[in-house]
Structure 1
Amino acid sequence: MRRDITFLSGAERCAAWLYTSEAAPSATCIVMAHGFGGTRHYGLDAYASAFQAAGHDVLLFDYRHFGESEGNPRGLLKVSLQHADWRAAIAHARSLGYRQIVLWGSSFAGGHVLHIAAEYDDLAGVIAQVPHISALATSLAVPLGKLPRVAGAIVADALLSLFGKRHMIKAFAPPGEFGAMSTPGAYDALVAMLPGSEWRDYFDEHNRVTALSLLETLRYSPGKRAAEITCPVLLQAGRRDRTTPFEPARRAAARMPDCEFRAHDCDHFDVYLGECFAAVVAEQLDFLHRRIPESTQ
Structure 2
Amino acid sequence: MREDVSFQTSDNVTLRGWFYKPSEATNPLPCLVMAHGFSALKEMDLNTFAEYFVASIPITCLVYDNRGFGDSDTKDGQPRQEIIPAQQTSDYSDAITYAQSKSEVNKDKIGVWGSSYSGGHVLWVGAVDRRVKAVLSQAPCVDGWANFHRLIRPDFVAGLNQLFQDDRHSRAAGKPAAVIPVVDYDVHKPSALPTPDSFDFFTAWAGKSKWKNEVTAFREYMPAAHIHHISPTPLLMTVAENDVLTPTDLALEAYNRALEPKKLHILPGGHFEAYAGSNFERNVQVQTEFLKKHLCS
Q: TM-score, normalised by structure 2?
A: 0.89
Q: What letter is aligned with 1:41?
A: E
| 1:288 alignment partner, one of 281, 288, 291 | 291
Q: Retained in 1: the 8 A contact 2:93–2:129?
A: no
Structure 1 residue 249 and structure 2 residue 251: aligned? yes
Deviation at 1:198, TM superposition (A): 5.2
Structure 1 residue 187 and structure 2 residue 199: aligned? yes
Over the matched positions of the two proteins, sequence identity in percent amounts to: 28
Question: Partner residue of 1:14?
Answer: 15
Q: Secondary structure at the match of 1:260?
A: strand
Length, aligned pairs only: 283
RMSD: 1.9
Q: Secondary structure at the match of 1:222?
A: coil
Alignment partners' CA distance in 2, 1:47 and 1:180? 26
Q: After TM superposition, list the pairs within 5 Å mapping 1:43-58 onto structure 2.
A: 43-54=45-56, 55-58=58-61
Question: Partner residue of 2:184?
Answer: 173
Q: After TM superposition, list the pairs within 5 Å mapping 1:77-116 onto structure 2.
A: 77-97=83-103, 98-99=105-106, 100-116=109-125
Question: Partner residue of 1:119?
Answer: 128
Deviation at 1:261, TM superposition (A): 0.7
Q: Deviations over 1:66-86 (max 9, x none)?
A: 111111310111111112211
**Greater CA deviation, 46-55 or 8-17?**
46-55
Q: What letter is aligned with 1:270?
A: E
Q: Deviations over 1:151-188 (max 9, x none)?
A: 34323322321123111112233352432112011121
Deviation at 1:278, TM superposition (A): 2.1
Question: Partner residue of 1:207?
Answer: 213
Q: Retained in 2: the 8 A contact 1:175–1:182?
A: no
Alignment partners' CA distance in 1, 2:53 and 2:225? 29
Alignment partners' CA distance in 2, 1:132 and 1:189? 17
Deviation at 1:38, TM superposition (A): 1.4
Deviation at 1:147, TM superposition (A): 2.1
Q: Retained in 2: the 8 A contact 1:35–1:107?
A: yes
Deviation at 1:271, TM superposition (A): 1.4
Q: Secondary structure at the match of 1:84?
A: helix
Alpha carbons of structure 1 residues 262 and 175: separation in structure 2 relative to 1, 3 Å: farther
Q: Secondary structure at the match of 2:252?
A: helix
Q: Retained in 2: the 8 A contact 1:168–1:209?
A: yes
Alpha carbons of structure 1 residues 73 and 136: separation in structure 2 relative to 1, 3 Å: closer
Question: Partner residue of 1:3?
Answer: 3
Alignment partners' CA distance in 1, 2:155 and 2:222? 24
Question: Partner residue of 1:146?
Answer: 156
4+ runs deviating over 4 angstroms: none
Question: Partner residue of 1:231?
Answer: 233
Unaligned runs of 5+ in 2: none
Structure 1 residue 35 and structure 2 residue 30: aligned? no
Q: Secondary structure at the match of 2:132?
A: coil
Alignment partners' CA distance in 2, 1:109 and 1:135? 12
